[in-house]
Amino acid sequence: MVGRIYLAKIYFTDLSEYKIRPVLVLRVYGEDCLCLPLTSNLKHEGFLLETNDLVDGFLKKQSKVIFPKSFTLHRSILIKHIATARQDILSTIHLEFCKKLECTAKT
């Protein structure tokens, strides 16, 4: 499940409605998943995902993984698997995510 991109129900902060959006699963904790959102708005700061960065599946549009906007979702919120990131790309995303959170040693 880690490294997979899913379409997920992303609720508004007031929980009144949701939109279906792509997310990348970073970690799994039982029934919960730590996720990062993807956006096709390339003006956002983040990691650009290219077609050759995927092991399988595809993204309809060129997308960026947004840092450090992470959130936890229950597995039931993940609707459909659409792609899987290559392991080396996932490792790069993890490193960039940690840099943004300043959880890695600065050199």
Confidence of residue 101 (pLDDT cuts 50, 70, 90): confident
Cα–Cα distances in angstroms (integers) from residue 52 to residues 5, 9, 32, 76, in the given order: 14, 26, 28, 29
**Gap between the Cα atoms of 83 and 64, Å rounded:** 14
107, pLDDT greater than 60: no
Q: What is the mean pLDDT of the chain?
A: 91
Q: Where are the domains of the chain?
A: 4-101
Report the CATH architecture of 4-101: Roll (2.30)
Each residue's pLDDT tens digit, 46-99: 999 998 999 999 999 999 999 878 999 999 999 999 999 999 999 999 999 988
**SS3 at position 90:** helix
Each residue's pLDDT tens digit, 11-45: 887 888 889 999 999 999 999 999 999 999 999 88
